[in-house]
Amino acid sequence: MLAVMTPPHRPLLHARGDTPESDSLQALADHMRANTRVVPVGPRPLSEAFADIWTSVSGQSLGQGLAMMVYELRQIQKSEPVDFAARSRPTPTGMAINAVYTPAALRGRGYASACVTALCREILDSGRSFCTLFADVGNPTANGIYQRIGFQPLGEFVELDFV
């Protein structure tokens, strides 16, 4: 298991497979309780396994925070360049897309699809092998757009709030 923290952001959890050994999660919970009250975010199975331990260690109750789907694109299926999106978090092999936005009066015309497709093409044509993005799990329109472009769901990523 890996937990990476780059302040001011919450620690990010990663593990091979669905969840690591519970002793790793217990050690992380003990460390977080002693050193910071900032709770990590990560893939749903891992976050929920940590949450089970954290609630018993901290005495806090669990509340749902963000629920985002992580996507990856390696090949564009449709293309029409238009509109607004940003790229971020460059690595030698990939880059993230974020801040996708279409003004309310212009929605439903395919502009977001075209914009994200064009940005993905630019990223992939630059020599990177993949693009990623996060989409609100509760927004079926955005999730449908990204899947039609060719993004494949990698898993649900959650931010859990403890109160």
| 70-122: pLDDT as tens digits | 877 676 655 544 477 989 999 999 999 998 988 888 889 888 998 899 999 99
Beta-carbon-side half-sphere exposure of residue 126 (alpha carbons within 13 Å): 16
Q: Is the pLDDT assigned to residue 124 strictly greater than 60?
A: yes
Q: How does residue 140 score in pLDDT terms, banded at 50, 70 and 90?
A: very high
- pLDDT at residue 19 greater than cutoff 90: no
Q: Which of 15-29, 97-111, 123-137 has the highest mean pLDDT?
A: 123-137
- Residues near 12 by Cβ (< 8 Å), separated by ≥ 6? 3, 4, 5, 40, 41, 42
End-to-end, the C-alpha distance of the chain in Å comes to 25
pLDDT at 1: 77
Task: Determine the average pLDDT of the residues in 129-155.
Answer: 94
Mean per-residue pLDDT, 46-53: 89
Domains of the chain: 2-60 (no CATH), 68-154 (3.40.630.30)
pLDDT on residue 81: 40
Is 93 exposed, middle or buried, given 0-12, 13-18 or 19+ CB atoms closer than 10 A?
A: exposed
Better-scored residue on pLDDT, 53 or 10 = 53
Q: Is the pLDDT of residue 18 over 70?
A: no
